[in-house]
Amino acid sequence: MHAVVIHAPHDLRVTPYEAERPGPGQVRVRIEAGGICGSDLHYYHHGGFGAIRVREPMVIGHEIAGTIVELGPDVDKLAVGDHVAVNPSRPCGHCAMCRNGLFNHCTDMRFYGSAMRTPHVQGGFREELVCDASQCFVGTRASTSTLSMAEPFAVALHAVSRAGSLLGKRVLVTGCGPIGVLAIAAARLHGALEIVATDVVPQPLEIARTLGADRTIDMRADPEALSEYQGTIDVMIECSGNERALAAGLAVMHPCGTVVQVGLGGEVSLPQSTVVAREITLKGSFRFRDEFGIAVSLLDSGRANLDALITHRFPMQDAVAAFDQASDRTRAMKVQLTF
């Protein structure tokens, strides 16, 4: 078997590894599709992000789906041949956060392809993966390529849920990378009346329109266009992690509006007078909770058609080329590896 392993910045290798057999309550999945995420790109270019650094070889990747090829003992709700999306989140289930249903805040989380702990948690960009049966969500109609988008879609669904009801509201999405455009699709499903999307690169805005944005604004080409919405934006979902995007969105918020911060960046300054005077609610959004299963259901039923998001596919052996392609926002949105 082979896996895609990160050793250091720009040191990505396809290397052999020993196949495993499933134990009690586990299954063996032949991985068929894996999406390259922004965090994967941070490992590829910088060896990590913030204080988190790759300190040992780590199988990368967590947006994965495939076909079950073997069942371990005591597995009775899955079958060989099932197409499944694999939830990469493995909360402990015992800490105070887990007992309160806040699984994304588990204090002993094991998340695939993460260097947050040592030994690192190995990821899912491999030909076969043994995982707990509880991590597998079956799709009966969708392809494994489609099912592999369940994880980032779950992130977007969680972000939208943090905003509260969107029925009849005007929503601004800033930053139209994969999570941004998925947030647009999620906002549309949640009943947003109008969705405005911004970015500083024109190419992603085309996909934003395909997935449900009513209007898109290239802030680099027309930085004043957003001012037309002064005082009328009910909800902002900030997906860029950029200080200027956050400030521009806050400037057009309706009083008592809600900002959901999804994008991760460096430290930013906050216009306190705007937040205070307009009584803005600011919320963070981190990963997902129960939204993973919902994402699979929406994808499998066709109610969420996100195929436009996938712009390129590369075989696992061309992982370096795939990561280079995914790094260029003018040429790619979601790049997938095939296994």
Prior bond to 204 cis, omega within 30?
no
pTM above 0.85, yes or no: yes
Across the range 309-327, mean pLDDT stands at 98
Distances in Å between the alpha carbon of 234 and those of 171, 210, 251, 261, 339?
Answer: 6, 22, 12, 14, 43
Across the range 205-225, mean pLDDT stands at 97
What the block records as the tokens of 239 is 């997906």
Where does the pLDDT of residue 50 fall: very low under 50, low under 70, confident under 90, or very high at 90 and above? Answer: confident
State the Cα–Cα distance between residues 228 and 213, nearest whole angstrom. Answer: 17
Across the range 135-146, mean pLDDT stands at 98
Rg (CA), the chain: 20
Question: Any idea what the Cα angle at residue 195 is, between residues 241 and 287, rounded to 5°?
Answer: 40
Where does the pLDDT of residue 145 fall: very low under 50, low under 70, confident under 90, or very high at 90 and above? Answer: very high
Domains of the chain and any CATH numbers = 2-149+306-338 (3.90.180.10), 156-284 (3.40.50.720)
What the block records as the tokens of 196 is 């405005």
Tell me which amino acid residue 73 is: P
* Rounded (10°) CA dihedral 201, 206, 212, 218: 30
| pLDDT tens, residue by residue, 255-300 | 999 999 999 887 888 899 999 999 999 999 999 999 999 999 999 9
pLDDT over 90 at 51, yes or no = no
| pLDDT tens, residue by residue, 80-137 | 999 999 999 999 999 999 999 999 999 999 999 999 999 999 999 999 999 999 999 9
If you ran DSSP here, which 8-state letter would residue 35 be given? Answer: E
Which residues, at least 6 apart from 100, have a Cβ–Cβ distance to it below 8 Å?
none
Across the range 188-194, mean pLDDT stands at 97
State the Cα–Cα distance between residues 186 and 161, nearest whole angstrom. Answer: 9
If you ran DSSP here, which 8-state letter would residue 272 be given? Answer: H
Q: What is the mean pLDDT of the chain?
A: 96
- What is the DSSP annotation of 226-269? GGGGTTTEEEEEE-S--HHHHHHHHTTEEEEEEEEE----S---
Distances in Å between the alpha carbon of 209 and those of 197, 223, 318?
Answer: 8, 19, 30
146 touches 152 (CB < 8 A): no
